[in-house]
Structure formats: C-alpha cells, structure tokens
Amino acid sequence: MSNFRHGHKRVGRATPEYNAWNNLKKRCYDSSSKDYKNYGARGITVCDEWLNSFSVFHAAIGKRPTPQHTIDRIDNSLGYQPGNVRWATRDVQGKNRRNVRRYWVGELDYTLPEIAELFGIAYWTLRARLLRLGWTLERSLGVVSLA
C-alpha cells in the first residue's frame, strides 16, 4: 500500500514519531482513552498547527533520539505546543511530574533525590528528616543556609 505524504505511516506499521503524535491527540481529545482524565479532562490541548498536521509536528520535535525517549511536556500545566514539548527519557519525565516536590537551593530548584545526591546524604534519611520529623531543608542537610 502507499505511504501518507509524510512517509511515517504504512499499513500495519507507523514510526515512533507518528505513534507519539496520534497518542497525544488521543489523550487530549478522546474521552474513552484511559489517559484522558489526566490530559483532556484537565484542559490539556494540542496547538492547532500540530493537531491538524503530523508534518508540522514532526518538523518541530524531530526524530526520537533513542527508543527510551518519549514525548514530554516541559510545563505540565500547558498543552502540546512549540517550546513546551521535548523527547525525554522516563527518568527525566519522572522528575517532571505534577506530584514531584521541588526544593530551592540557591536560585535553582531540585527534586529530593537530586538534593540527596548533591549533598552526599542518603535519600531516605533526608526524606525522613523533612517529612516525618518536619525539619527544614537546611537542618536536614546540616547547613546554615542554602542561599
């Protein structure tokens, strides 16, 4: 059978980029999708240019770097639009979830595992001090100030 004009969809097989595009549209607009509650129901949308053209979407995001990369929104409160989408590994995406707590160290924000690694303290020790004992981040790390 023939390809679509963009060459990313063949009968029975599609490229990872084409599948990503199809799946993000489904998450945002198909209320029967298992992921709709976390996307479309929250108001997450796909910009008109990408919604209506795989070629425009593909030109913006490029080829998937490795099989471990999937589509990720940089700012989870925004939709799929230029400047807010990247290819990212599951590890990077895990740090970019809505429910991940971020802590400020100086002018940068970090996740708890990143802070534990940065300061050479066991993650579970740091977590217990902060969440179970209610210590400040400074006290938990044994520093005077993080500014």
- pLDDT tens column, 102-126: 787 778 878 888 889 999 999 899 9
In which band, very low, low, confident or very high, does the pLDDT at 2 lie, cut at 50, 70 and 90? very low
Q: Residue 130 above 80 pLDDT?
A: yes
pTM of the model: 0.66
How far is Cα 27 from Cα 79, in angstroms, rounded to an integer? 11
Per residue in 80-96, pLDDT (tens digit) is: 999 999 999 988 787 77
- Identify the weakest region by mean pLDDT among 19-33, 74-88, 102-116, 128-142: 102-116
Q: Angle CA(2)–CA(86)–CA(62) in degrees, nearest 5?
A: 35
Amino acid 147: pLDDT: 63
Q: Write the CB contacts of 57 (distance below 8 Å, at least 6 apart in sequence).
A: 21, 49, 50
Instruction: Express as a percent the part of the chain with pLDDT over 90.
Output: 56
The domain ranges of the chain are 9-94, 102-141
Tell me the C-alpha distance between 109 and 115, whole Å: 9
pLDDT at 57: 97
